[in-house]
Amino acid sequence: MTFDWSALDNARVFDLAQPMRRGMPQSPNHPPFQMSLVRRHGDYIRDDGSSAANEVIVTGGHVGTHVDALAHVSHRGRLHGDVDAFSVMSHEGFARLGIDGFTPYVGRCVLLDVARLHGVETLPPGYGITAEDLAEAEKATGTTVRSGDAVLVGSGWSRLWDRHDDFVGARDGVPGPDESAATWLVRAGVRLAGGETIAFEQIKPGAGHALLPVHRMFLVDHGINIVETMRLTELLDAGVTELILVLAPLNIVGATGAPARPLAVVTDR
């Protein structure tokens, strides 16, 4: 089989990952990202005059742009597929449903720009994205979400990345899909879904992460992976609605999630 490389002529590639740095916005439920040089240039100099620098990185699996594994959430002690969470969990992680079981995704993706639907760059804090919002945003794309697709929900929230407290939304909340929107995506048969906030949920003012019903519906009930803290600003500004998504989280055995650097490939075809 010969690949038609002309399909990539004039293709644009968008980086959908937020930069990982110390102090970046993240969920308070997870350990913070830390990076420090443990060897600096000049600490050890080789006979030819060269030296090397390297770092140690410590991070939670759900910090920065990341993918949630199905093992991330349980309901009444059960994981997706009615797996007993305690029977597959150990200090080494999960023997089943960990992020190492995620099949890298390269395929069709539809971006539903709910912010543009409402005539704003960024949805208000605490706004609940509904099934009606998604249906209207889909209509505006001129295409249809198909079974097996990835879907990204645009709220514009990644525009607030450099405003730590506003982005986290501990006081005022963050916009995200409510249960009706989650049901809409389930019925559409999506393979995975992603958004710009630290939790793919409507977080109401002052509510924090006390309840995360969309996580339960996706990860436990239907086996749909979630991508969080995505940087969709450039895609939204470019008016992109359909793209090729390349998504592969770090292959960490037994982990409940892992950082990823998703790429969007947009062609003229």
The whole-angstrom separation of Cα 55 and Cα 59 is 13
Q: Give 43-76 pLDDT, tens digit per residue.
A: 999 999 999 999 999 999 999 999 999 999 999 9
Res. 178: pLDDT tops 70: yes
Residue 113, H or E segment: strand 105-113
What is the percent of the chain with per-residue pLDDT over 90, rounded to a whole number? 92
CB 69 within 8 A of CB 255: yes
What pLDDT, on a 0 to 100 scale, did the predictor assign at position 269? Answer: 60
Helix (H) / strand (E) element for 166: namely helix 164-168
- What is the C-alpha separation between 27 and 46, in angstroms, rounded? 43
Give mean pLDDT, residues 258-263: 98
**By the 8 A CB rule, do 85 and 79 touch?**
yes
pLDDT at 145 over 90: yes
The enclosing domain of 146 has a CATH number of: 3.50.30.50
pLDDT of 9 above 90: no
Count structural domains, the chain. 1
Note the pLDDT tens digit of each residue in 179-223. 999 999 999 999 999 999 999 999 999 887 878 999 999 999 999
Q: Domain of residue 258: give its range.
A: 5-266
Q: What secondary structure does DSSP assign to 138-153, as a single string?
A: HHHHTS---TT-EEEE
What's residue 109's pLDDT?
A: 98
Residue pLDDT, tens place only, 73-93 = 999 999 999 999 999 999 999
Q: Could you tell me which of 137, 133, 156, 155 has the C-alpha nearest to residue 145?
A: 137
| Predicted local distance difference test score (pLDDT) of residue 29 | 86
Residue 157 has pLDDT above 70, yes or no: yes
The neighbouring-strand residues paired with 198 are none
Please give the radius of gyration of the chain, using alpha carbons only, rounded to the nearest integer. 20
**Which tokens hold the place of 250?**
């770090």
